[in-house]
Amino acid sequence: MDSLLEVSDEVATALAERRPVVALESSLITTDPSSETASLIEKAVRDTGAVPATVGVAGGRFVVGMDESVIERFATTKGIPKISARDLGSALAGGGLGATTVAGTIVIAERAGIEVFTTAGIGGVHRRAQESFDISADLLQFTRTRITVVSGGAKSILDAKLTAEYLETAGVPVFGYGTDRLPAFVVREADVPVTRVDDLAVAARTVDFHWEVNGDSTVLLTSPIAREDALDGEELERVIAEALEQADRDGVVGNAISPYLMKAVARATGGSIAAAGRSLLLSTARVAGEFAVELSAVRAGRR
C-alpha cells in the first residue's frame, strides 16, 4: 500500500480489475461557483463505461477519486491553492486542501496506476517566451510521466507553434483525433500540423507501442471543440494582439502577461469563452473515457 494515496473504493476496484479509469484535475472545481461542472464531467466519463477519478490533496494525502462531499468542499472553500508538480511536497506537509493542476494531477495519477487524464487545455510555451522564458510546467512534466493526456490542445493565449516545437524536441507525440491540425482550446485549430488518428482503438494500440519502445513519457491526444461552440480564431487573435499592445503601454512584463491576456480575452468575449470552455471540458471527457476503454482492452490483451 502507498501511504501517500487515498484511493476511493470504486477507483481501487476498477484499477485492480484493469478496467478503464480517467483522472480529472481538481483546480477547475475551485474556479466554478458550484460543483455542477465537475459532476457533469464525471458523468461524461461514466457514460462511456470508464470510471472518473477526480484528484486533489487533502489531509496530507493524495486523494484519488473524490466523492460528492469532497468535491462540494473544494467548490465552496475559498482560497484553496492550486498545486502543480513542484508544489506537491509542500501541499502534503501543510496538511490542507490543494487543487491540482495538469502537472500535479498527472504525477498523482501515474502514482496510482491511472493511464489516462483529461482536461480542456494544457499549458504550453507562452507568447513572448523568447523574452520571458515563460513555459508551463506541464510540458516538462510530460517528459517524466507515463500517461495519455486528452485535451483540446494548448490554451488559446499561448504560442501554439512554439508549444508544438517544444513537444517535438522533447519527444512527446501529439495526435489529433479527427483532425490533422493542432486544436487551440476554444478555437478548433491552429496552423500547426499533427498526426491524425480517426480510430481510438488504433490510438490505443499506438500509445501501447509508444510506451513499449520509448519508456515513460506522456502521449497527447488532442480533440477539437465542437464546431458550433468554437470561437473565431481570427477574431481571438485580434483581441490578443490588442491586449499585448496594451500590456506594453501598461508596463506588464514577464509571467504577468498571461493572466493579463486571459482577463482581456474574457472581457472581450463576454460569456462566450466560458461557455466554450465548458463545452470543451465535456467533449474531451467523453473522448478520454472512450479512449480509456480502448486502452484498457489493449493493455488486457483483448485488442
Write out the catalytic residue numbers.
25, 155
* Vertex 196: Cα angle to 303 and 207 (nearest 5): 40
Query: Phi and psi dihedrals of 186, rounded to 5?
Result: -80, 0
By C-alpha distance, which of 208, 212, 140, 191 is closest to 169?
140
Query: Phi and psi dihedrals of 243, rounded to 5?
Result: -65, -35
Distance CA 166, CA 45 (A): 30
Distance CA 148, CA 204 (A): 9
